[in-house]
Protein backbone atom coordinates (compact mmCIF):
# COMPACT_ATOMS: atom_id res chain seq x y z
CA UNK A 1 0.00 0.00 0.00
CA UNK A 2 1.38 3.46 -0.80
CA UNK A 3 1.57 6.34 1.69
CA UNK A 4 -1.47 8.16 0.30
CA UNK A 5 -3.68 5.09 0.68
CA UNK A 6 -2.32 4.34 4.14
CA UNK A 7 -3.12 7.94 5.13
CA UNK A 8 -6.64 7.63 3.65
CA UNK A 9 -7.37 4.84 6.15
CA UNK A 10 -6.89 7.29 9.03
CA UNK A 11 -9.88 8.85 10.73
CA UNK A 12 -7.83 11.45 12.56
CA UNK A 13 -4.23 12.29 13.33
CA UNK A 14 -3.65 12.47 17.09
CA UNK A 15 0.07 13.28 17.07
CA UNK A 16 2.06 14.60 14.12
CA UNK A 17 5.56 13.56 13.08
CA UNK A 18 6.89 16.95 14.21
CA UNK A 19 5.27 16.65 17.65
CA UNK A 20 6.75 13.16 18.09
CA UNK A 21 10.26 14.32 17.24
CA UNK A 22 10.10 17.40 19.47
CA UNK A 23 8.92 15.22 22.37
CA UNK A 24 11.63 12.60 21.84
CA UNK A 25 14.29 15.36 21.89
CA UNK A 26 12.90 16.54 25.25
CA UNK A 27 12.85 13.01 26.66
CA UNK A 28 16.38 12.31 25.39
CA UNK A 29 17.72 15.39 27.21
CA UNK A 30 16.17 14.21 30.51
CA UNK A 31 17.37 10.64 30.00
CA UNK A 32 20.91 11.80 29.19
CA UNK A 33 21.02 13.79 32.45
CA UNK A 34 19.71 10.84 34.47
CA UNK A 35 22.19 8.28 33.11
CA UNK A 36 25.26 10.51 32.77
CA UNK A 37 28.30 8.38 33.72
CA UNK A 38 26.20 5.23 34.22
CA UNK A 39 26.29 1.89 32.39
CA UNK A 40 23.00 2.25 30.49
CA UNK A 41 21.41 -0.49 28.37
CA UNK A 42 18.44 0.43 26.19
CA UNK A 43 15.92 -2.40 25.86
CA UNK A 44 13.36 -2.17 23.08
CA UNK A 45 10.20 -4.23 22.95
CA UNK A 46 9.58 -5.58 19.45
CA UNK A 47 7.98 -4.85 17.19
CA UNK A 48 6.15 -1.65 18.16
CA UNK A 49 9.11 0.13 19.79
CA UNK A 50 11.31 0.06 16.68
CA UNK A 51 10.52 3.63 15.60
CA UNK A 52 10.73 5.10 19.11
CA UNK A 53 14.05 3.36 19.70
CA UNK A 54 15.50 4.44 16.35
CA UNK A 55 14.68 8.10 16.96
CA UNK A 56 15.33 8.18 20.73
CA UNK A 57 18.78 6.60 20.45
CA UNK A 58 19.79 9.07 17.76
CA UNK A 59 18.60 11.94 19.98
CA UNK A 60 20.67 10.67 22.94
CA UNK A 61 24.15 12.19 23.24
CA UNK A 62 25.61 8.91 24.48
CA UNK A 63 26.83 5.60 23.08
CA UNK A 64 24.44 3.33 25.00
CA UNK A 65 24.09 -0.20 23.61
CA UNK A 66 20.71 -1.58 22.58
CA UNK A 67 19.08 -4.96 23.06
CA UNK A 68 15.63 -6.25 22.15
CA UNK A 69 12.91 -8.43 23.60
CA UNK A 70 9.93 -9.71 21.69
CA UNK A 71 6.78 -10.51 23.59
CA UNK A 72 3.25 -10.76 22.38
CA UNK A 73 0.00 -10.11 24.14
CA UNK A 74 -2.12 -8.55 21.38
CA UNK A 75 -1.59 -10.99 18.52
CA UNK A 76 -3.50 -9.69 15.52
CA UNK A 77 -6.43 -8.14 17.39
CA UNK A 78 -7.12 -4.86 19.17
CA UNK A 79 -7.44 -6.24 22.74
CA UNK A 80 -4.71 -7.46 25.04
CA UNK A 81 -5.07 -11.12 25.93
CA UNK A 82 -3.30 -10.40 29.21
CA UNK A 83 -1.12 -13.45 28.60
CA UNK A 84 2.46 -12.37 27.93
CA UNK A 85 4.80 -14.73 26.08
CA UNK A 86 8.51 -14.17 25.50
CA UNK A 87 9.12 -14.72 21.78
CA UNK A 88 12.73 -13.49 21.94
CA UNK A 89 14.74 -12.86 25.09
CA UNK A 90 17.62 -10.40 25.61
CA UNK A 91 21.05 -11.39 24.29
CA UNK A 92 22.60 -9.45 27.19
CA UNK A 93 23.20 -10.32 30.85
CA UNK A 94 21.74 -7.30 32.67
CA UNK A 95 23.16 -8.07 36.13
CA UNK A 96 24.34 -4.81 37.70
CA UNK A 97 23.36 -2.69 34.71
CA UNK A 98 20.99 0.27 34.39
CA UNK A 99 18.19 -0.84 32.09
CA UNK A 100 15.86 1.55 30.31
CA UNK A 101 12.89 -0.15 28.63
CA UNK A 102 11.80 1.77 25.54
CA UNK A 103 8.18 1.25 24.47
CA UNK A 104 5.69 2.64 22.01
CA UNK A 105 2.59 2.40 24.20
CA UNK A 106 1.26 1.49 27.62
CA UNK A 107 -2.39 0.56 27.18
CA UNK A 108 -3.74 -1.83 29.83
CA UNK A 109 -0.24 -1.87 31.36
CA UNK A 110 -0.22 -5.68 31.42
CA UNK A 111 2.72 -6.09 29.02
CA UNK A 112 5.02 -3.57 30.66
CA UNK A 113 4.27 -4.53 34.25
CA UNK A 114 5.12 -8.11 33.32
CA UNK A 115 8.32 -7.19 31.45
CA UNK A 116 9.49 -4.83 34.20
CA UNK A 117 9.00 -7.48 36.90
CA UNK A 118 10.73 -10.06 34.70
CA UNK A 119 13.79 -7.83 34.16
CA UNK A 120 13.92 -6.76 37.82
CA UNK A 121 14.22 -10.43 38.80
CA UNK A 122 17.57 -10.57 36.93
CA UNK A 123 19.38 -8.32 39.45
CA UNK A 124 20.00 -5.20 37.35
CA UNK A 125 21.18 -1.95 39.03
CA UNK A 126 17.87 -0.33 37.96
CA UNK A 127 14.95 -0.76 35.57
CA UNK A 128 13.02 2.26 34.30
CA UNK A 129 10.52 2.75 31.49
CA UNK A 130 10.25 5.33 28.74
CA UNK A 131 7.10 5.15 26.62
CA UNK A 132 6.00 7.42 23.82
CA UNK A 133 2.28 6.91 24.49
CA UNK A 134 0.11 5.99 27.45
CA UNK A 135 -3.67 5.54 27.80
CA UNK A 136 -4.49 6.48 31.41
CA UNK A 137 -8.16 5.44 31.08
CA UNK A 138 -7.25 1.95 29.89
CA UNK A 139 -4.97 1.05 32.81
CA UNK A 140 -5.73 -2.36 34.35
CA UNK A 141 -2.56 -2.37 36.44
CA UNK A 142 -0.40 0.47 37.71
CA UNK A 143 2.96 0.65 36.00
CA UNK A 144 5.67 2.88 37.41
CA UNK A 145 6.76 4.82 34.30
CA UNK A 146 9.51 7.39 34.57
CA UNK A 147 9.16 9.06 31.15
CA UNK A 148 5.93 9.43 29.13
CA UNK A 149 5.71 11.26 25.82
CA UNK A 150 1.95 11.72 25.48
CA UNK A 151 -1.14 10.65 27.40
CA UNK A 152 -3.81 9.82 24.81
CA UNK A 153 -7.55 8.96 24.93
CA UNK A 154 -8.70 5.36 25.19
CA UNK A 155 -8.88 4.69 21.44
CA UNK A 156 -7.03 2.16 19.30
CA UNK A 157 -4.19 3.97 17.51
CA UNK A 158 -1.78 3.07 14.72
CA UNK A 159 1.39 4.48 13.21
CA UNK A 160 4.96 5.16 14.31
CA UNK A 161 5.48 1.47 15.08
CA UNK A 162 1.95 0.73 16.25
CA UNK A 163 0.02 -1.77 14.15
CA UNK A 164 -3.40 -3.06 13.37
CA UNK A 165 -3.02 -6.69 12.20
CA UNK A 166 0.69 -5.94 11.65
CA UNK A 167 -0.07 -3.10 9.21
CA UNK A 168 0.33 0.71 9.44
CA UNK A 169 3.58 0.60 11.49
CA UNK A 170 5.31 2.76 8.88
CA UNK A 171 2.97 5.75 9.22
CA UNK A 172 4.98 8.75 10.41
CA UNK A 173 2.21 10.11 12.65
CA UNK A 174 -0.04 8.45 15.26
CA UNK A 175 -3.75 8.34 14.50
CA UNK A 176 -7.00 6.40 14.67
CA UNK A 177 -8.33 4.26 11.84
CA UNK A 178 -11.52 4.96 9.90
CA UNK A 179 -14.40 2.53 10.62
CA UNK A 180 -14.23 0.99 7.09
CA UNK A 181 -10.82 -0.49 7.95
CA UNK A 182 -12.35 -2.68 10.66
CA UNK A 183 -15.25 -3.96 8.60
Please report, as ranges, the residues that interact with ligand HPA according to CB under 6 A: 74, 105, 107, 156-158, 162-163
Least Å distance, CB 52 to ligand PRP, is 10
Q: Is 2 a catalytic residue?
A: no
Which of 109, 124, 149, 175 is the binder for ligand PRP (CB under 6 A)? 109
Cβ nearer to ligand PRP, comparing 41 with 108: 108
Cβ nearer to ligand PRP, comparing 39 with 151: 151
Cβ nearer to Mg ion, comparing 73 with 118: 73
- Bridge partners of 45, per DSSP, are 69
Find the catalytic residue in 67, 91, 107, 166: 107
- Bridge partners of 130, per DSSP, are 102, 147
Enumerate residues 6+ apart whose C-beta is below 8 A from 121.
Answer: none
Largest CA distance in the chain: 52
Residue 50 is a binding residue for Mg ion (CB under 5 A):
no
Compute CA distances 106 → 7, 36, 93, 140, 162, whole Å. Answer: 24, 26, 25, 10, 11
Q: What is the C-alpha to C-alpha distance for residues 79 and 169, in angstroms, rounded to an integer? A: 17
**54: how many CB neighbours lie within 10 A of its CB?**
15
Which of 15, 42, 80, 127 is the binder for ligand PRP (CB under 6 A)? 80
Enumerate residues 6+ apart whose C-beta is below 8 A from 177.
Answer: 9, 10, 11, 156, 158, 164, 168
Least Å distance, CB 182 to ligand HPA, is 12
Which of 104, 127, 168, 176 is the binder for ligand PRP (CB under 6 A)? 104
Least Å distance, CB 103 to ligand PRP, is 6
Q: What is the C-alpha to C-alpha distance for residues 183 and 178, in angstroms, rounded to an integer? A: 10
Cβ nearer to ligand HPA, comparing 68 with 74: 74
In the list ligand PRP, ligand HPA, Mg ion, none, the entry touching 47 (Cβ below 5 to 8 angstroms by class) is ligand PRP
| Catalytic (active-site) positions | 107
Amino acid sequence: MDAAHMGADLEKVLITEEEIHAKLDELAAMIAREYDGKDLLLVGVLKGAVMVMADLMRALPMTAPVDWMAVSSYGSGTKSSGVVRILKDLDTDITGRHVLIVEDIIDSGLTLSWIKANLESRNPASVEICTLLRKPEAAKVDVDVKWVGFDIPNEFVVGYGLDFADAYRGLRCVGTLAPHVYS
